[in-house]
Structure 1
Amino acid sequence: MMSTDTIFALSSGGLPSGVAVIRLSGPASGQAVQALCGRQPAERRASLLSIRNRNGEKLDAGLVLFFPGPNSFTGEDCAELQIHGGRATVKAVLAELAGMAGLRAAEAGEFSRRAFLNGRMDLIEVEGLADLIAAETEMQRRLAAEQSSGGLSKLYDSWAKRLTHARAMIEAELDFADEDDVPGSIADTVWRDMRQLEQEILNHLSGVRTGEIVRDGLKVVIVGPPNAGKSSLLNYLAKRDVAIVTDVPGTTRDVLHVDLDLDGFAVRLYDTAGLRETDDVVEQEGIRRTQLSMAQAHLVLLLSSLAEPDWVAFTEGYDGPIIRVQTKADRQDAAWRDPEADVKISVRTGEGISALLDLVSGYLPDLDQGSALALPTRQRHADNLAEARSHIGTALDAGGSGLDIQAEHLRLAGQALGRVTGRVDVENLLDVIFSEFCIGK
């Protein structure tokens, strides 16, 4: 699906910078380069050329590359201008491109969208590319690299081929049941493989939570009564003053967070309003948000600075994992130390902080550093995979309804699987997916 217009954008991020990369894609890319540089460089070879405006005035000099379609990032003719990253220089070159007939500035995600529409990437690879650009930790990078390079797509494609093969064998048995060259045992072989495929998808879906944690981070919520040291702990771990710390109870009214890199994983740490009875309307809203954050947490750090805290009272309604943290461990009072606490810390001395982080690390996914991260990372992946598995299960259970009904459920399973990679029925997904991209990607 080739586009008639040519798009351009600054693809290299904020200015000023040492080098700025301007990317073009579309049928007029070569003509645009020729108009700017006086000639079109050899295919896939970097050429140092002067860049001039239509009046012949030199704007800059830089490396220019031309990639003819279909063997390019978007599948169309593409070009790149690697120029100096001064604001005025980049602005002048972009203005010159905007003045050329048939060229326009790219929309967010339009380069990647064209790559998808031209068959250069599927949706899994597109989403992986978006995640790779946004990755901040090593595990996020590994997960995104696996998806953007097609590792996950190969798995789903192999499942789709098995479904297609099963349907073909069933259709053959329906159409040629009287022929000698169609053995009656085909159906048994097909359903044995479909039963195995159903289990493989079920096993894969068990990794949804792991994929969510790797991609979006382990969500850790700090809760407890006012003045338990929640904001002080957040500031200590963030190594900056994120939250206001005072002796006045109820200082924190909203949910604040910082992101940590722990063993290569992202850990998102949330500071919340202190839990207590209050008539303050604003503080009540903060407590409501605290309870909502707890409901969405992967882990809760329950803090208290009391000698004998009532740990149960502050987590009513929450049944997830909890680490009980007794704060202000620099106190000299030995009777203050509660044996029920999982760890005792002091942000003044640093005591217990390493032990606390070790406990948090215990809730991170246990992944082999050498293994591939073939994990579903988005809710739409999980929903469509669950639908595919459901249809396979229905087909397996519908033996008394006839092979034609069973084959139809396998077709529906294939459609659900195809919606993950974008092989079928994806138009309603595109705006959502590509809106996540920055201009120039």
Structure 2
Amino acid sequence: MSLAQRSSPIAAIATAPGRGAVGIVRVSSPQPLEALIESLTGAALKPRHAHYGPFLAADGSPIDHGLALHFPAPHSYTGEHVLELQAHGGPVVLQLLLARCLDLLPGARPAEPGEFTQRAFLNGKLDLAQAEAVADLIDASTESAARSAARALDGALSREVTQLGDALVQLRLFVEATLDFPEEEDVEFVQQADVQGQLAALLQRLEQVLQRTRQGALLREGLKVVLAGQPNVGKSALLNALAGAELAIVTPIAGTTRDTLGSHIQIDGVPLHISDTAGLRDTEDLVEKIGVQRSWAAIAEADVVLFLHDLTRLDDPDYQREDAAIRARLAAHDGQLERHLLHAYNKADAAAPELAPAGALAFSAQTGAGLQALRQTLLQRVGWQAVPEGLFIARERHVRALAATAAHLREALAQVSLPAPPLDLVAEELRLAHEQLGSITGRMSADELLGEIFGRFCIGK
């Protein structure tokens, strides 16, 4: 976004498309809005007080009656002069109000997606992590996600990052100042200040924040879980049991499921995107063959592959042969799946659960026995723990930045631990670590990153 675009007034309908009891039109402008307010409402508005009255068209006739709220800069959401009009929520009424605002404001234009929040960030009302939390709060699909997004919006993640950054700044200042001393004194200086101990402690704190951030990212993104296995092991029955609805057709006929079916559920507040796939087997049926290909494609993108086995067929030689072939392909698939591969044994209602290997999950999709243990194991496999007090929602971007920060700190710690520490290399690693931390809150962010983040917001926010 250019400087001219950032300095122009903007306006947008801030409520979702469609009809409703109330709709909101929002205006933000670097310049005062008194002239617009006078022309639109016929009155001067007391700042931050709701005023009821008509919204006037160019000929003086009322477009609608509703509430107008004026927030002079800098005490507004965007940090600019803001006007909010609360009218009846009809699409035509709101479009008329929006057009009227744009006509009355010289140089005004419709707001781009997320531009109000972007201006709040650019004007220092929110940092980048808080701005992202606005969208996460709107998009939250579970109660836990909504509460965690509200904490992030309140600055929980930002405070953690700021505290880490402050400690890192102190280390950077000391190391870079030490570079000005004679070389023979470097080691003594570093030892006296216990730079190694400070780095180790900082890295430990960072790892704790990284763990919580991974939890927050999982709460936001959810899990992609793929149900895989041979035909008739109960994948569709399990999907129905987990979803609590008859989403997939269940029959004794092999190959009933020929395409990937999906459902969204939640376990302990964590969203799960579960896909039921076609049974994995060699087949000459063209349609089923396409379904099997899609199954492998879904497996490649999954966070967890839940590989189902049939307890009633474990002693069948043909079943065993196919099972071994699928296991081998799963284990070798992209070289990455083994830690996300979870074996579970279905039909415990028709066969003894003891037939499953020691320590394996046995359950019945038909009766529901063992399903709760299966749910908890799914979460544990990806590192989820009971929601800690104060968990904040996070994004994969934050996780990557913290992981990169930790990598730079580990390298700095390794350099400091040498008999003759190369402080110039230590200083560089600390600088790179500081840059990664700064990217989370937006202290060091490229315009391309800002465009990508705010472009995903809804218009009017």
Q: TM-score, normalised by structure 2?
A: 0.83
- 2:396 corresponds in structure 1 to 379
Cα distance in 1 between the residues matched to 2:242 and 2:259: 19
Does structure 2 retain, via aligned residues, the 8 Å contact 1:52–1:59? yes
- 2:57 corresponds in structure 1 to 53
1:393 aligns with 2:410: yes
Greater fraction of residues in helix: 2
- 2:447 corresponds in structure 1 to 427
- 1:360 corresponds in structure 2 to 375
Does structure 1 retain, via aligned residues, the 8 Å contact 2:228–2:305? no
Give how far 1:110 is off. Answer: 0.8
- Taking structure 1 as reference, are residues 335 and 103 closer, same or farther at Cα in structure 2, changes over 3 Å only? closer
Give how far 1:435 is off. Answer: 1.9
- Taking structure 1 as reference, are residues 432 and 405 closer, same or farther at Cα in structure 2, changes over 3 Å only? same
Does structure 2 retain, via aligned residues, the 8 Å contact 1:31–1:40? no
The 5 A counterparts of 1:278-289 are: 278-289=283-294
Q: Secondary structure at the match of 1:221?
A: strand
Q: CA RMSD in A?
A: 3.0
1:88 aligns with 2:92: yes
The 5 A counterparts of 1:34-113 are: 34-100=38-104, 101-113=106-118
Q: Please, which moves more after superposition, 119-128 or 335-344?
A: 335-344
Q: Secondary structure at the match of 1:416?
A: helix
Cα distance in 2 between the residues matched to 1:206 and 1:285: 40
Q: 2:226 is matched with which residue: 218, 221, 239?
A: 221
Cα distance in 1 between the residues matched to 2:15 and 2:206: 39
- 1:298 corresponds in structure 2 to 304
Q: Secondary structure at the match of 2:30?
A: coil
Q: TM-score, normalised by structure 1?
A: 0.86
Q: Which runs of 5+ in 2 are unaligned?
A: 332-337
Cα distance in 1 between the residues matched to 2:307 and 2:24: 45
Q: Percent identity?
A: 36
Q: Secondary structure at the match of 1:72?
A: coil
Q: 1:417 is matched with which residue: 424, 428, 437?
A: 437
The one-letter amino acid paired with 2:303 is A
Does structure 2 retain, via aligned residues, the 8 Å contact 1:169–1:187? no
Cα distance in 2 between the residues matched to 1:362 and 1:338: 19
- 2:10 corresponds in structure 1 to 7
The 5 A counterparts of 1:321-340 are: 321-327=341-347, 329=349, 339-340=355-356
Aligned residues: 427
Give how far 1:153 is off. Answer: 0.7
The one-letter amino acid paired with 2:90 is G
- Taking structure 1 as reference, are residues 189 and 79 closer, same or farther at Cα in structure 2, changes over 3 Å only? farther
Q: Secondary structure at the match of 1:99?
A: helix
Does structure 1 retain, via aligned residues, the 8 Å contact 2:160–2:209? no
Q: Secondary structure at the match of 1:79?
A: strand
Deviations 1:257-303 (A, max 9, x none): 11113332222221111111113454334323323433423351515
Cα distance in 1 between the residues matched to 2:140 and 2:371: 25
Give how far 1:87 is off. Answer: 2.4
Q: Please, which moves more after superposition, 359-368 or 100-109?
A: 359-368
Does structure 1 retain, via aligned residues, the 8 Å contact 2:241–2:365? no
Q: Secondary structure at the match of 1:398?
A: helix
Q: 2:28 is matched with which residue: 25, 40, 50?
A: 25
Q: Please, which moves more after superposition, 429-438 or 299-308?
A: 299-308
Give how far 1:167 is off. Answer: 1.9
Q: Which runs of 5+ in 1 are unaligned?
A: none
Cα distance in 1 between the residues matched to 2:371 and 2:25: 47
- Taking structure 1 as reference, are residues 363 and 48 closer, same or farther at Cα in structure 2, changes over 3 Å only? same
